[in-house]
Amino acid sequence: MLAELKAYYTSLVAPKRLPTRVVSIGDVPVGGPHPIRLQTMTTTDTLDISATVAQVIRLAEAGADYVRLTAPSLKEAEALGEIKKRVWAAGYRVPLVADIHYTPRAAEIAARLVEKVRINPGNYADKKRFEQRTYTDAEYQAELERIYERFAPLVRLCKEYGTALRIGVNHGSLSDRILNRYGDTPEGMVESAMEFLRICEAEGFYQVVISMKASNPAVMVAAYRHLVARLKAHGTVYPIHLGVTEAGDGSDGRIKSALGIESLLLDGIGDTVRVSLTEPPENELPTCRALVSFAERHRDLALDLPEPAWPTEGLTYQRWATHSVEGIGATHPAVVIADHSQNLHGLHLYGGEIVPDFAFVGKAVPNPLPTIRLIYEASTWEKVARPQDTPYFSSVEAWQQASLRHPTLNWVRLTPADLLRERLEFLEDSTVVWVVESEGPLPARALRWMRLYAAQKGYTPPFIARLTLVPPEKSPEPRPAHALAVEAACHLSPVLIDGFVEGLWLVVQQRPPAAAVRLAFDLLQAARLRIVRTDYIACPSCGRTLFNLEEVTARIRARTSHLKGLKIAIMGCIVNGPGEMADADYGYVGAGPGTIHLYRGKEIVRKNVREDEALEALIELIQADGRWTPPPEETPG
């Protein structure tokens, strides 16, 4: 199928917003020329009508264009009518969206009451059995006919009542049928949506929005790009809702969301967004707004550079294959460079998981010298460097003209203009790591161009992205950590999401170098280019949640955050697990009031554990598998 598709983008140097069909959702249309809409979801029990109405009103006042509510059973679906009535009576016309899993009858009730219904193709007409089987074409067609009979009644009701429909695919909950034919792939995610879309169109219904969510931003981006390519080939591009599912909380959750969502927005893809945080839903909207605002300021900025070729057309993810220079590039984890050129303070204080691989000190000479390998300006390096320290050359010319270079590792600044030279053989040098940066307002777009253009010319050397984050004008106070994390992720999303760089060199004005180092590690962790601690897949709370997600996530994080490379999923209910745990090593899933199921991968290993014992049981499970290490403070000796 990939060979039949054209690129998801029209241009990598001058992108424009993707034209999509306009869909009416109450009084707030989406797609086409309309603004990118913001969405969030209630966390109240939908049957608690008063609390739900109050939260919907707060979210509308906070700027939500749409508010989604869970309706897992007929009772919740029926309650939506009264909720909408009271919200409207209070003077708020924010469209409501019913979130449906497993229960077609609930969707059919909701379609009569609210402005939009979201269904998941993976569990609307299929039950998850994790069965492996081979379908003949005839058997597969029979399954599609069964789905048609199950889904068409909802489509007809949506058409009758003027209700919009979102076909919301989640990577972790694809049907057994899709998994057996397409695998756990972006292509399978897209085909899952297309099956349901074809039913809508067969019924003459076109008020459809589509989403492709995953907890891994790289998988999510690949799926959306593939979706756009398929919709272009199909002939109609429907509005696209963006989101990274189970992103988590704090800066980590915001970075994951920004990497996935912003990389698509900057390419012109996306008509609505939601940032799924394990926090109160009001907290999601400022980040949504920041992502949309960044895209609107930067999306249409064109590069005065030739259009590069992209061999995979961005439809498949694979980390870029480069040659290795002293353990940088190839299959090695991405590196982090601390910038102490303006501030030597803290150079000797790094420890634990946050230790940069190199520190740039410019022309300064630390005393005493730290154990970290230093990078000096080339003129200073010639005079003072230890054997392990290395030089930085501020231009290709400076490096080419230097009388003295390091025998195995040199850092050389590379700009887009350097790649427009007639001869590029200098990129083959096996001792150079190229520090790529651009002076433009969206440097990562230029950095992506540099990677692709160099490859087009036959060169794949290791690249380090250097980015300086400058505070807004007239801003004497440092930016909050969350806002800084979102800004950095937005700037770097076009290169991190595709594995186009082999390391980060960040400078954050108004912050100490150590803060930039931590941010670099956070960005690389979210992009899975370097794993330095536990990775958490935590769903946002909603009305289905069976325990306090924020508190439980914090407790689990406090006990397990030192387990480098382990992935732990924390799911509020059985709807979001085990399927939505994606590639987690372990899962902590709400089973009922006060009880938890524990998973190893997608296999349930302990059922109905009391909530007050579940964390210890999870730790015991990790210990039994030989994957537990004591936290640093507990290490003997």
Give the type of residue at 244: V
- In 84-186 the beta strands, taken as DSSP E runs, fall at 96-100, 116-119, 164-170
* pLDDT for 490: 96
Q: Per-residue pLDDT for 131 more than 70?
A: no
d(CA 318, CA 322): 12
User: In 3D, which of 184, 85, 70 has the Cα closest to residue 117?
Assistant: 70
Supply 354's token pair. Answer: 């946050």
Q: Per-residue pLDDT for 497 more than 50?
A: yes
CB contact at 8 A, 226 and 315: yes
Region of residue 403 (left: phi > 0; alpha: psi -120 to 50; beta: else): alpha
Q: Sign (positive/negative) of CA torsion 559, 245, 217, 30? A: negative
Q: Per-residue pLDDT for 636 more than 60?
A: no
Q: Per-residue pLDDT for 2 more than 50?
A: no
Angle between helices 217-234 and 250-266 (to 10 degrees): 30
* pLDDT for 581: 63
* Class of the CATH domain delimited by 335-526: alpha beta
CB contact at 8 A, 573 and 546: yes
Q: Per-residue pLDDT for 6 more than 80?
A: no
* pLDDT for 403: 94
161-197 tens-digit pLDDT: 999 999 999 987 888 888 888 887 899 999 999 999 9
* pLDDT for 130: 57
CB contact at 8 A, 260 and 222: no
Residues 114-140, mean pLDDT to the nearest whole number: 83
* pLDDT for 1: 38
CB contact at 8 A, 486 and 452: no
Supply 474's token pair. Answer: 């007239």
* pLDDT for 334: 96
CB contact at 8 A, 292 and 36: yes
In the chain, % of residues over pLDDT 90: 66
Confidence of residue 633 (pLDDT cuts 50, 70, 90): low
Q: Per-residue pLDDT for 571 more than 90?
A: no
CB contact at 8 A, 547 and 590: yes
Supply 501's token pair. Answer: 């760089």
User: In 3D, which of 506, 602, 535 has the Cα closest to residue 253?
Assistant: 535
DSSP single-letter state for residue 36: P
Q: Per-residue pLDDT for 603 more than 70?
A: yes
Confidence of residue 557 (pLDDT cuts 50, 70, 90): confident
Number of H helices, E strands in the chain: 17, 21
74-113 tens-digit pLDDT: 999 999 999 999 999 999 999 999 999 889 999 999 999 9
The rounded mean pLDDT for the chain is 90
d(CA 559, CA 29): 45
d(CA 192, CA 211): 11
* pLDDT for 631: 83
Q: Domain-by-domain residue ranges, the chain?
A: 2-292, 335-526, 535-630
User: Alpha carbon of 109 to those of 41, 82, 104, 161, 558: distances in Å?
Assistant: 19, 13, 9, 11, 42
- pTM of the full structure: 0.89
Confidence of residue 125 (pLDDT cuts 50, 70, 90): confident
φ/ψ (deg, to 5) at 373: -70, 135
d(CA 209, CA 456): 36
* pLDDT for 33: 96
* pLDDT for 3: 43
CB contact at 8 A, 213 and 243: yes
* Class of the CATH domain delimited by 535-630: alpha beta
Name the burial class of residue 28, with classes exposed (0-12), middle (13-18) and buried (19+) by CB atoms within 10 angstroms of its CB. middle
* Class of the CATH domain delimited by 2-292: alpha beta
First CA to last CA distance, the chain:
58
d(CA 122, CA 578): 13
* pLDDT for 579: 56
Say if 2-292 and 335-526 have the same CATH topology.
yes
Q: Which of the two residues, 444 and 513, has the higher pLDDT score?
A: 513
CB contact at 8 A, 259 and 489: yes
223-272 tens-digit pLDDT: 999 999 999 999 999 999 999 987 677 888 999 999 999 999 999 999 99
Q: Which of the two residues, 203 and 591, has the higher pLDDT score?
A: 203
Residues 595-614, mean pLDDT to the nearest whole number: 88
364-377 tens-digit pLDDT: 999 888 999 999 99
CB contact at 8 A, 256 and 214: no
8-32 tens-digit pLDDT: 988 999 999 999 999 999 999 999 9
